[in-house]
Structure formats: structure tokens, C-alpha cells
Structure 1
Amino acid sequence: MPIKIPKNLPAGDILANEKIFIMDEQQAVTQDIRPLKILVLNLMPEKQRTETQLLRLLSNSPLQVNVEFLHTASYASKNVSKSHLDQFYKSFQQIKDLRYDGMIITGAPVEQLQYEQVAYWNELTEIMEWSKTNVTSVMHICWGAQAALYYHYGIDKYHLPQKSTGVFNHHLVHAEVELVRGCDDEFLAPHSRYTSVPEKEIQDHEDLILVSSSEHAGPFTIVSKDRKHVMITGHLEYDAATLGLEYHRDIEKGLDPNIPTDYFPADDPEQKPANRWRSHAYLMFSNWLNYYVYQQTPYSW
């Protein structure tokens, strides 16, 4: 089934070239079907790149998925044009009276700040509080996952000695959880962050399930027992080249970043990396849409 996106969204041409079935609003209104409504709060600086990455993963479902994008009103992104935001994004004030089947809150490059120091923290907490009653299930990614653990469950992050960047091996802790149904017992996933969350506090919390973890990258997939929240501390949505782009960006800034672990062939930044986490990413997003969104949302929502 197709994924519905705003007409003329630049990601549409990229996805069409990949033979991903998409449709715009005009075509979608002819479909006699109850589509899933997914809201994406995009906090990433490279918004158009993140749009494409998430839409690609949301497309791999037998369900029709309608996607809307949300931006913060309290902070203006410096890496996207105002015209792009005006054309393809909404503010919280525009959607606060609506209901959505699912929502994604992305990561953001602010993990070295205390939560209350983040420019849009008050707005984000208002949105997260609103999601309790207006969204069936929310997927939180990277810093978004850390923010959710802090706001909803009182679990704070801690700073790492050095940035965790690379492709790390993970193992399933609770393979029976539907989010990872069909996943391998061990799998790879990318990480890119300066902070982590305490595994023991997650395991000891009565409302949370630690689904998967990594010896080197720490807790990876956490779900709430009521299925309301899915927290992924890494970046399954990343393209093969994304970690490399971040690495070379840091070099250009005059920083001295570590080469991402197990990412470039032979640890040579001049060589092209491969995407070794794609199948797991598609499966997890598909499972979320099916088990946590579609099967939990009332038809008349």
C-alpha cells in the first residue's frame, strides 16, 4: 500500500526513484480506506534528509499511511528554509485539537545540554503531554528517546567519556515483544550521541521493558508495557552514508572526531560504507505500525 505525503515534498522524487509507492493528497482522497495518520515531530537539523529516511521506512507496510510533519514554534531551524517549513510543516497550535494513530519524535543534536536548557523544551513537554491522550503510540528516536525516558519515567541520561558513534552489535533481551517479532537474536544498528541512559534503571522500572541492548552502545530498544511509548536510542533510519557525513562535517569544523566504530571498510574514511541494518530497520518500523498503531487504534479515532 502507498504512503501519502504532501504534494511536491522533495523527498517524493527520491522515494519515487527507489520505486517506493507514494501518493499525494489529491490521489489519496479517491481511496476508500481508513488510512493511518502519523505525525512526525522533526527535530533534526537536516530536515529534508530525515524526512526521506523516515518516509522510506514507513512505506514498507500493507497499510496506507498518511504522514504530516510538525516543527517547533519556539525554535527556528537554521538548516532548512522558511518556505519549506511553511509549505510542508505544521505547528503544534495547528494540530493540538486533532488525534493521530502514531507519532515519531526524532533525535536532535542537543544531548550535551540539560533538558531544561534546550530552547524548545517547554514546547516539547507540552507536545509529549498532549500525546498521552491524542496519539495511540509514539516512537522516540535517539535524543527523543532520552527525552521520553526523562519526561515520562524520570530516568535521566548521563554523559559518555567520548562520543558513541558507529555501527554496533545488539542482542535481544525480550524476543517475545511484538516490536521485534521476526528479528534476529543479534543485529546491527548505528549510533551517534554523546550521552546514554542507565540500563539498570530501565530494567528496574515497573512500566518499561528493555527489549534489546548492546555491550558497547548500551540500551537500544525500550517499550512501555502499555505500548504507548517505543524508545530507540540509535538511528535505524540512517542511510549508509549518514555517519560518514557527520564524521566529515566534524572534521570540517576543526574537531577531532573518532572514526565511527565498525563503519568504514578497514576503518578508512575514504571507502564507501555499506548499510548493514536496513532489514532490521524496515521490520521494526513495520512491526510498530502493525502491532502498536494499527491494532491498537479505534477505527473512528
Structure 2
Amino acid sequence: MPIKIPKQLPAAELLKKEKIFIMDEERAVAQDIRPLNIIILNLMPEKEKTELQLLRLLGNTPLQVNVTFMNTATYESKNVSKTHLDTFYTTFEEVKHRKYDGMIITGAPIEHLKFEDVNYWSEMTEIMDWSKTNVTSVLHICWGAQAALYHHYGIGKFELSKKCFGVFSHRLSDPTVNLVRGFNDEFYAPVSRYTSVSYDEIINDTRLNLLSNSKEAGVFLVISEDEKHIMITGHLEYDATTLAEEYARDVNKGIEIDVPENYFPNDNPSRQPLNSWRSHTHLLFYNWLNYYVYQETPYEWE
């Protein structure tokens, strides 16, 4: 089944070329189907790239999905045009009266800041509190995962001695959980962050269940005991070339950065990297939409 997106969204043409089944509003209203309503709080600077990555994954299930993009009102991104934001994005004030079946909160390149020093932290906490009653299931990615662990469970982040950067092997702790149904016992995932969260704090918190961990990269996938919140500390949604683009960007800025681990063939940045995490990414999003959104959300929100 398709995802329903605005007719003129730039990602639409790229998705069509990839044979992702999409549908615009005009065709969608003619179908007598209860679609899933997903809201995406996109905090990433290059919003159009993130839109494409997430829409590609949401469009690969048997479910019809309506997608709404939201940005913060207290901070306006400098890496996307105001026209794009005005055309395709909404703010919390405009949607806070609504109910959503699912929500995605993305990462953001602000992990060097204390949470309270982020200029939209107050708005962020209001949105996260709202999600408890207005959203069936919330998927938090990278900094969004750290923000959720801090706000909902009081688990802070700590700085690493150097950036955790590359594609790392992760082990499942419980393959029977629906979110990781069909996963291999060992899988690979991209990680790109300067901070991490405590393994001990998470496994000792009865409100949380650690689903996967990496010897090199630490905690990766956490689900709350009530299955309301899912936290992913890496970037399964990344394209094959995203880490390469981040590496080139930092090198061009003169930032001291290691070549991403286990990523370029023979650790040679001039060679084309391969995507070794794609199948597990699609599987995770499929499982999330099916087991935690579609199976749990009410047909009619009260």
C-alpha cells in the first residue's frame, strides 16, 4: 500500500524513480480505507534528505500511511528554504489538538549541548509530553532517542573520547520481541554521534528493555516496558552514502575526524561504500508500523 504525501513534495519524484508506491491527496481521498496518520518531527538540518529516507521506509509496507511533517516554531532551520517549510511543514501549535497513530522524532546535530541549553528544548518537552496521550507509538532516532531517555526516564547522555562513527555490529538480546521479529542475531547499523547513554542505567531501569547492544558502539535499540516509546541511538534510515557525505563535510571544515569504521571498502574513502543494513532497516520500520501502530491504534480516536 502507498504513502500519501503532498503532491509537490520534492521527494515524490525520487520515490517514484525508486518504485516506492506513493499517492497524492487527490487519489487518496477516493479510497475507503482507514490510513495510518504518522507525524514526523524533523530536526535534521538537511530536511529534504531526511524526508526521502523516512518516506522510503514508510512506503514499504502493506499499510496506507498519511504523513505530516512538523518543525519547531522556536527555531527555524538554516539549511532548507522558508518556502519549503511553509509549504510542507506544520508546527506543534497547529496540530496539538489532533491524535496520531505514530510519530517519528529524528536526530539533530546538537548533542554537544546540554538538553536544557537547546533553544527549542521547552517546545520539545511539550511535544514529548503531548505524545503520551495523543500518539499511539513514538519512534525516536539518535539525539531524539537520547532526548526521550532523558525526558521520560531521567537517563542522561555522556561525551565520548572521540566520535562513534561508522557501521557497527549489534547483537540482539531478545529476538522474540515483535519490533525485531525476523532480525538476524547479529546485524549492522550506522552510528554517528559524539555522545552515548549508560548501558547499566538502561538495563537497571525496569521501565525499559534493551533489545540490542554493540561492543564497540554501545546501546543501540531500547523499547519502553509499555511499548509506547522506541529509542534507536543510531541511524538505520541512512542511505549508503550518508556517512561518506558527513565525513567529507567534516574534512572540508577542517574538523579532526577518523575515517568511519567498517564502512569504506579497505577503509579507502575514495571507494564506494555498500549498504549492509538496508534489509534490517526496512524490517524494523515494517514491524513498528504493523505491531506497534496498526495493531494498537484505535480505529477512531476519542
Report the residue type matching 1:224 in the other structure. Answer: S
Deviation at 1:169, TM superposition (A): 0.2
Partner residue in 1 for 2:6? 6
Deviation at 1:76, TM superposition (A): 0.7
Deviation at 1:255, TM superposition (A): 1.1
Partner residue in 1 for 2:291? 291
Report the residue type matching 1:112 in the other structure. Answer: H
Partner residue in 1 for 2:51? 51
Per-residue CA distance 1:11-67 (angstroms, 9 max, x = gap): 000000000100111111011100000000000000000000000011111110110
Partner residue in 1 for 2:93? 93
* Matches of 1:264 and 1:119, distance apart in 2: 36
SS state at 1:162 partner: strand
Report the residue type matching 1:124 in the other structure. Answer: M
Partner residue in 2 for 1:190? 190
Say if 2:16 is the partner of 1:16: yes
* Matches of 2:158 and 2:256, distance apart in 1: 22
Q: Unaligned stretches of 5+ in structure 1?
A: none
Deviation at 1:278, TM superposition (A): 0.2
Per-residue CA distance 1:75-105 (angstroms, 9 max, x = gap): 0100000000000000000000000000000
Deviation at 1:174, TM superposition (A): 1.4
Deviation at 1:298, TM superposition (A): 0.6
* Matches of 2:199 and 2:6, distance apart in 1: 39
Give runs of aligned pairs for residues 123-138 of structure 1, distance below 5 A.
123-138=123-138
Partner residue in 2 for 1:63? 63
Report the residue type matching 2:3 in the other structure. Answer: I
* Matches of 1:172 and 1:97, distance apart in 2: 38
Report the residue type matching 1:298 in the other structure. Answer: P
Runs of 4+ in 1 over 6 A off after TM superposition: none
Partner residue in 1 for 2:109? 109
Deviation at 1:250, TM superposition (A): 0.4
* Matches of 2:233 and 2:7, distance apart in 1: 31
Deviation at 1:159, TM superposition (A): 0.4
* Matches of 2:178 and 2:225, distance apart in 1: 11
* Matches of 2:276 and 2:292, distance apart in 1: 25
Report the residue type matching 2:300 in the other structure. Answer: S
Give runs of aligned pairs for residues 219-230 of structure 1, distance below 5 A.
219-230=219-230
Q: Percent identity?
A: 64
* Matches of 2:266 and 2:256, distance apart in 1: 19
Per-residue CA distance 1:193-237 (angstroms, 9 max, x = gap): 000000111101111000011000101000011111000000000
Give runs of aligned pairs for residues 240-259 of structure 1, distance below 5 A.
240-259=240-259
* Matches of 2:27 and 2:225, distance apart in 1: 38
Say if 2:139 is the partner of 1:139: yes
* Count of aligned pairs between the two proteins: 301
Deviation at 1:113, TM superposition (A): 0.6
SS state at 1:138 partner: strand
* Matches of 1:120 and 1:53, distance apart in 2: 24
SS state at 1:192 partner: strand
Deviation at 1:258, TM superposition (A): 0.6
Q: How large is the RMSD of aligned CA atoms in angstroms?
A: 0.5
Per-residue CA distance 1:96-135 (angstroms, 9 max, x = gap): 0000000000000001110000111000000000000000
Partner residue in 2 for 1:280? 280
* Matches of 2:101 and 2:201, distance apart in 1: 29
SS state at 1:171 partner: strand
Report the TM-score, using the length of structure 1 for normalisation.
0.99
Q: Unaligned stretches of 5+ in structure 2?
A: none
* Matches of 1:74 and 1:46, distance apart in 2: 18
SS state at 2:187 partner: strand
Report the TM-score, using the length of structure 2 for normalisation.
0.99
* Matches of 1:31 and 1:192, distance apart in 2: 41
